[in-house]
């Protein structure tokens, strides 16, 4: 059962010094509030930075350019052109690869026509496996399939922006034709992207066709622009990156150390670095917040010491009638917990409401940023904040409680 008298006694003791208690409680409130705000803002920054990692987080990209180092009697300045047989060799020689996606681009923006409409968009030649590297939202029709690639079909999948420009709002583009470079292509699908900001806008202005079709229709026989890879489960992306680079260097007689001739990007390494950065931000947020909470707890401890001093005679009477040291300590700790608990809970509530208010405001007003998105507080953070609060409250009341437990009842009654 709830001991109402005990709670009344606790609140009466605290209310004797309302201003002092309020100022002390504000320190605890501010510490918890700042913890929640910093963690919410940190999560928003993390979401903003990772929202454009719509490509697989272990993807590897490899491309070629001109050599800058002489090798095997060959002069620098040679352009290394990737071909279909490079893809076949990579498949055979690098078993650590799970998915391989060869890519080709027409170059720059290309004029696309339909009737009296024309606009410039980016055109890519791809394999169906590209969807595994960079998932797209196919909202109508389908993506390319293996049969499209084998038969070199003149089909395209267009981005949302391409659809808006080339077709009327109530017009279904599936089955319609677009002219690219004087060649007619049938639209078999439309897509949206998960990417936000400028990168997302570029995505929806893209057109995809089978890479074999692009090679044949635009006189680029066997040509590949660059590769995208996904490693087998459990295989580090670095292993695939190094093996593919070495194999291409051997096949095209390039110095393996010529980074300019054979370039690569390892998304897994970049993602790990990003996670390390945000881990540091989270650690810094906890450090700042716990420091503020500790300062607030020092205030709670000080006010409890004053309360113990003012209640010396009362504590002496309690001990003279049989109160144990444990009950005295519990009484003081309970008062400290109430003072820190109420203020800390209000800080937690205010922080969560602030973060949620910012999130809802961004959604309501359509605010989009490449660096900040969807600030939020997860359950783990809130739970840990409550644990820190309880622990700090106990520690704040423990020292004054021990001092109260050591009071001599005879000397206390003489004061």
State the pLDDT at residue 404. Answer: 67
Burial of 113 (C-beta count, 10 Å sphere; 0-12/13-18/19+): middle
Range 290-294, long-range pairs (CB < 8 A, 24+ positions)? 290/31, 290/35, 290/388, 292/27, 292/30, 292/31, 292/34, 292/35, 293/28, 293/31, 293/32, 293/35, 293/344, 293/388, 293/389, 293/392, 294/31, 294/392
Neighbouring-strand partners of residue 97:
231
Residue 340: in which H helix or E strand, if any? helix 325-364
Residues 360 and 298 in one domain: yes
* Single residue among 228, 249, 267 that ends a domain in this structure: 267
Other CB atoms closer than 10 Å to residue 170's CB: what's the count? 5
Residues 104 and 203 in one domain: yes
CB of 192 within 8 A of CB of 137?
yes
- The tens digit of pLDDT for each residue in 214-239 reads 999 999 999 999 999 999 999 999 99
* Single residue among 267, 301, 316 that ends a domain in this structure: 267
State the pLDDT at residue 144. Answer: 95
Residues 115 and 237 in one domain: yes
pLDDT above 70 for 54: no
Q: How confident is the model at residue 110 (pLDDT cuts 50, 70, 90)?
A: confident
Q: What's the total number of domains in the chain?
A: 2
Integer Cα distance of 91 and 93 in angstroms:
6
Neighbour-count burial for 346-382, b at 16+ CB within 10 Å, e otherwise: bbbebbbebbeebbeebeeeeeeeeebbebbbeeebb
Residues 197 and 215 in one domain: yes
Residues 114 and 248 in one domain: yes
Q: How confident is the model at residue 57 (pLDDT cuts 50, 70, 90)?
A: confident
CB of 63 within 8 A of CB of 204?
no
Other CB atoms closer than 10 Å to residue 156's CB: what's the count? 26
CB of 185 within 8 A of CB of 214?
no
Percentage of residues of the chain with pLDDT beyond 70: 84
For residue 406, the enclosing domain spans 4-52+272-414
* Single residue among 267, 285, 314 that ends a domain in this structure: 267
Residues 313 and 287 in one domain: yes
Residues 221 and 73 in one domain: yes
How do strand 82-83 and strand 223-224 relate by DSSP bridges? antiparallel
Integer Cα distance of 52 and 372 in angstroms:
11
Distances (CA, A) of 291 to 277, 280, 301, 338: 21, 16, 15, 20
State the pLDDT at residue 352. Answer: 87
Mean pLDDT of the chain: 83
Q: How confident is the model at residue 369 (pLDDT cuts 50, 70, 90)?
A: low
CB of 24 within 8 A of CB of 300?
yes
The DSSP string of 296-322 is HHHHHHHHHHHHHHHTHHHHHHHHHTT
State the pLDDT at residue 89. Answer: 96
> At 379, is the secondary structure helix, strand, or coil?
helix
CB of 133 within 8 A of CB of 56?
yes
Ordered alpha helix ranges (H), 125-208: 130-133, 146-150, 160-166, 197-203
CB of 120 within 8 A of CB of 111?
yes
pLDDT above 70 for 315: no
Residues 6 or more apart whose Cβ sits within 8 Å of residue 151 = none
Q: How confident is the model over 137-144, as a mean pLDDT?
A: 94
Bigger pLDDT: 280 vs 173: 173
How do strand 97-105 and strand 226-231 relate by DSSP bridges? antiparallel
Residues 178 and 191 in one domain: yes
Largest CA distance in the chain: 107
Q: How confident is the model over 245-267, as a mean pLDDT?
A: 92
Residues 280 and 156 in one domain: no
7 φ, ψ to 5°?
Answer: -65, -40
Q: How many residues does the chain have?
A: 415
Residues 123 and 257 in one domain: yes
Residues 258 and 402 in one domain: no
> At 260, is the secondary structure helix, strand, or coil?
coil
Integer Cα distance of 60 and 77 in angstroms:
25
Residues 163 and 19 in one domain: no
Integer Cα distance of 413 and 321 in angstroms:
12
Q: How confident is the model over 310-316, as a mean pLDDT?
A: 68
How do strand 183-192 and strand 110-114 relate by DSSP bridges? unpaired
């Amino acid at each position: 059962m709830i001991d109402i008298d005990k709670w009344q006694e606790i609140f009466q003791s605290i209310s004797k010094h309302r201003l002092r208690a309020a100022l002390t409680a504000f320190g605890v409130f501010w510490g918890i509030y700042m913890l929640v705000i910093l963690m919410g803002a940190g999560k928003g920054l993390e979401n903003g930075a990772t929202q454009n990692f719509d490509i697989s987080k272990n993807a590897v990209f490899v491309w070629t350019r001109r050599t800058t180092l002489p090798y095997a009697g060959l002069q620098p300045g040679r352009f290394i052109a990737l071909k279909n047989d490079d893809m076949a060799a990579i498949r055979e020689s690098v078993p650590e690869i799970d998915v391989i996606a060869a890519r080709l681009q027409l170059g720059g923006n290309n004029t696309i026509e339909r009737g009296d409409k024309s606009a410039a968009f980016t055109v890519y030649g791809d394999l169906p496996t590209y969807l595994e590297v960079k998932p797209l939202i196919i909202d109508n029709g389908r993506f390319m399939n293996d049969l499209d690639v084998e038969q070199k079909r003149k089909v395209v999948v267009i981005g949302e922006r391409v659809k808006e420009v080339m077709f009327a709002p109530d017009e279904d583009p599936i089955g319609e034709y677009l002219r690219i470079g004087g060649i007619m292509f049938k639209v078999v699908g439309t897509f949206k992207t998960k990417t936000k900001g400028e990168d997302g806008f570029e995505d929806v202005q893209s057109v995809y066709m089978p890479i074999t079709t692009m090679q044949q229709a635009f006189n680029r026989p066997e040509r590949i622009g660059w590769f995208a890879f996904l490693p087998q489960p459990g295989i580090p992306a670095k292993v695939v990156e190094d093996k593919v680079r070495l194999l291409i260097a051997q096949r095209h007689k390039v110095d393996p150390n010529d980074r300019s001739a054979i370039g690569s990007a390892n998304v897994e390494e970049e993602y790990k670095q990003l996670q390390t950065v945000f881990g540091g931000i989270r650690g810094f947020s906890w450090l700042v917040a716990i420091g503020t909470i500790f300062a607030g707890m020092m205030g709670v401890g000080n006010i409890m010491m004053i309360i113990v001093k003012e209640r010396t005679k009362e504590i002496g009477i309690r001990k003279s009638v049989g109160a144990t040291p444990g009950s005295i300590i519990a009484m003081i700790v309970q008062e400290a917990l109430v003072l820190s608990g109420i203020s800390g809970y209000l800080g937690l509530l205010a922080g969560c409401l602030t973060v949620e208010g910012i999130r809802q405001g961004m959604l309501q007003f359509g605010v989009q940023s490449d660096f900040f998105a969807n600030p939020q507080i997860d359950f783990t953070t809130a739970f840990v904040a409550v644990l820190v609060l309880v622990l700090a409250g106990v520690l704040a009341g423990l020292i004054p409680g021990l001092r109260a437990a050591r009071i001599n009842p005879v000397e206390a009654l003489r004061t």
